[in-house]
Amino acid sequence: TQSKLLTGQHWLITAGPTREAIDPVRYISNHSSGKMGYAIAQAAVNAGATVTLVSGPVTLSTPSGVNRINVSSAENMHQQVMTQVENTDVFIACAAVADYKIAEVSAQKIKKSAETMQINLVKNPDIVADVAALANKPFTVGFAAETQDIEHYAKDKLKRKNLDLIAANDVAKNGQGFNSDNNALTVFSYNKKFELPLASKSDVAQQLVALIAQQRDEKQ
Ligand code: C5P
């Protein structure tokens, strides 16, 4: 068997949205399709890595050769990632994790009564920040979906969450990002900037995987 670029490496990737339960029949979520994370998982497997994909609810099929773990809430995702992260060489946080969860999930379906109602929310754990805070942290890559001041917000996240790289996409632009089959990314390290121009998510994923491998080598 031929040795590939990522042979012997373990990559852990999160993808898709999370669902935060309100009661047994309702939840809060977002429009993430999971396409970018799945494309990265496929590209990493093709490059020879052992890939674990911790996935929120999506309608995509599992890329061949990828070990997929299904989760629903941000808390589930956090728990699975912290369990799987040992011996991981590269962690990529591609999931659109809900920032908040419902403070008190109702055990019964909430009945309709008053004209208005309130739901209290509390902050979810920050998965990528918790991984990057580990003593033997993997090479850690985050995503930043922004609509303005992309470079400023992306670099702020890179530093605040102690990441090695951050991939920023402009979700205000048509035909890329959320749900689209195409994407364009600007990737920041502490002192460098890399442009991955608009292409299919599969092409962008291949370029991103190569860039991560190269930046990880440079760091070691
Ligand atoms: O702070 P913000 O949610 O914009 O950061 C986005 C990055 O952080 C993404 O890589 C996302 O997967 C990750 N994230 C996470 N856990 C959270 C929130 C975001 O891993 N609770």
Provide, rounded to the nearest whole percent, the portion of the chain with pLDDT above 90.
Answer: 88
Tokens of 184: 């364009």
Q: Is 215 inside a domain boundary?
A: yes
Mutate to test the pocket of ligand 1, among 14, 19, 90, 128 (most ligand atoms within 8 A of CB): 128
- Whole-number Å distance between alpha carbons of 18 and 204: 24
Please check whether residue 95 is in contact with residue 32, taking contact to mean a CB–CB distance below 8 angstroms.
yes
User: Could you give the ipTM of this predicted complex?
Assistant: 0.96
pLDDT at 84 over 70: yes
pLDDT digits (tens, 9 = 90+) for 133-149: 999 999 999 999 888 89
Collapsed DSSP state (helix, strand, coil) of residue 216: helix
C-alpha 23 – ligand 1 centre gap (Å): 24
pLDDT digits (tens, 9 = 90+) for 155-174: 999 999 999 999 998 887 77
Q: Is 34 inside a domain boundary?
A: yes
Determine the residue type at 154. Answer: A
| Nearest residue by C-alpha to atom 9 in ligand 1 | 143
Q: Is 44 inside a domain boundary?
A: yes
Of ligand 1's listed atoms, the one at least distance from the Cα of 142 is 10
C-alpha 103 – ligand 1 centre gap (Å): 20
- Sequence-separated (6 or more) residues with CB below 8 Å from residue 122: 100, 101, 103
Q: Is 5 inside a domain boundary?
A: no
pLDDT at position 2 is 67
pLDDT at position 173 is 78
| DSSP notation for 4-73 | -TTTT-EEEEEESB--EEEETTEEE------HHHHHHHHHHHHTT-EEEEEE-S-SPPPPTT-EEEE--S
Of ligand 1's listed atoms, the one at least distance from the Cα of 99 is 21
Q: Is 151 inside a domain boundary?
A: yes
Q: Is 112 inside a domain boundary?
A: yes
Confidence class for position 151, pLDDT limits 50, 70, 90: very high
Q: Is 2 inside a domain boundary?
A: no
How many independent structural domains does the chain possess? 1
Q: Is 78 inside a domain boundary?
A: yes
- Whole-number Å distance between alpha carbons of 31 and 15: 12
C-alpha 128 – ligand 1 centre gap (Å): 6
Q: Which residues line ligand 1 (CB under 6 A)?
A: 14, 74, 93, 95, 97, 124, 126-128, 142-144, 157
Tokens 């303005």, located at residue: 148
Residue 49 C-beta-side C-alpha neighbours within 13 Å: 28
- Whole-number Å distance between alpha carbons of 69 and 100: 22
CATH number for the domain that contains residue 48: 3.40.50.10300
User: What is the domain range of residue 84?
Assistant: 10-219
pLDDT digits (tens, 9 = 90+) for 176-211: 767 788 889 999 999 999 999 999 999 999 999 999
pLDDT at position 24 is 97
